[in-house]
Chains A and B, each alone.
Chain A
Amino acid sequence: DAGITQSPRHKVTETGTPVTLRCHQTENHRYMYWYRQDPGHGLRLIHYSYGVKDTDKGEVSDGYSVSRSKTEDFLLTLESATSSQTSVYFCATSAKVDTQYFGPGTRLTVL
């Protein structure tokens, strides 16, 4: 498996506060992705990156922004958290356009 870590692993925050989740990989994979998992929805793509400073929107990007200043780091920011953003967030990476490898996840609760 790709060496992927996510921080924090758990976070509780209040509505309206900014939140940043970090994904770090040691595999030098070009592509990185952020997903959210919710009951009844499976995994949905939020944003992805196909290289340093190259990012694009996924299926559920509203309310989220991302940044990738280094190959190994991909940040997901909730500018003003809402209760609908309570979810489990997964980062994934891939070396090319095929198999993605996932991190352990971050459980975010917005009160």
Chain B
Amino acid sequence: DQQVKQNSPSLSVQEGRISILNCDYTNSMFDYFLWYKKYPAEGPTFLISISSIKDKNEDGRFTVFLNKSAKHLSLHIVPSQPGDSAVYFCAASAGGSQGNLIFGKGTKLSVKP
């Protein structure tokens, strides 16, 4: 049973617009959430994270929102750029589990010029 779900396999957005990538989780013990970005033939790159004690974390064009009651988080990219085209993975971990991350299956973002 998937504990971290990214229900949209792909997303297409126009350059300059907002990209919103969504992630749902089922395990209420998760207390740390991360987003990774992956280009083809490269390893995933850490993008942004959020602790369960917060509901928002911002880093430049990237903002992650956490709604604990809905067990939902989202990544907003504003404004979207063609270089943002990649696969985005949501990941979650529960404290005390050696930091083991549970990953979603990823969402492929395409930003059109």
Residues of A contacting B36 with CB < 8 Å?
Answer: 102
Residues of B contacting A96 with CB < 8 Å?
Answer: 99
A64 to B106 Cα, complex, angstroms: 25
Residue from A1, A45, A56, A105 within 8 A of B101 (CB atoms) = A45
User: Which residues in chain A, 81-103, are within 8 Å of chain B measured between CB atoms?
Assistant: 90, 94, 96-103
Residues of A contacting B44 with CB < 8 Å?
Answer: 43, 90, 102
CB <8 Å contact, A99 and B43: no
**A interface residue count range (under 10 / 10 to 19 / 20 to 34 / 35 or more):** 20 to 34
A48 to B93 Cα, complex, angstroms: 14
Q: Which residues of B contact A (CB under 8 A)?
A: 32, 34, 36, 41-46, 49, 89, 91, 93, 95-101, 103-106
User: Which residues in chain A, 31-90, are within 8 Å of chain B measured between CB atoms?
Assistant: 31, 33, 40-45, 48, 50, 56, 58, 90
Residues of B contacting A43 with CB < 8 Å?
Answer: 44, 89, 91, 101, 103
A45 to B91 Cα, complex, angstroms: 12
Residues of A contacting B95 with CB < 8 Å?
Answer: 97
A48 to B42 Cα, complex, angstroms: 21
Q: Can you list 27 A-B pairs, Cβ within 8 angstroms, ordered by A?
A: A1-B46, A31-B98, A31-B99, A33-B100, A40-B105, A42-B105, A43-B44, A43-B101, A44-B103, A45-B101, A48-B98, A56-B98, A90-B43, A90-B44, A94-B99, A97-B96, A97-B99, A98-B32, A98-B93, A99-B34, A100-B46, A100-B99, A101-B46, A102-B43, A103-B43, A104-B43, A105-B43
- Which of B44, B45, B95 is the most central at the interface, judged by chain A CB atoms within 10 Å of its CB? B44
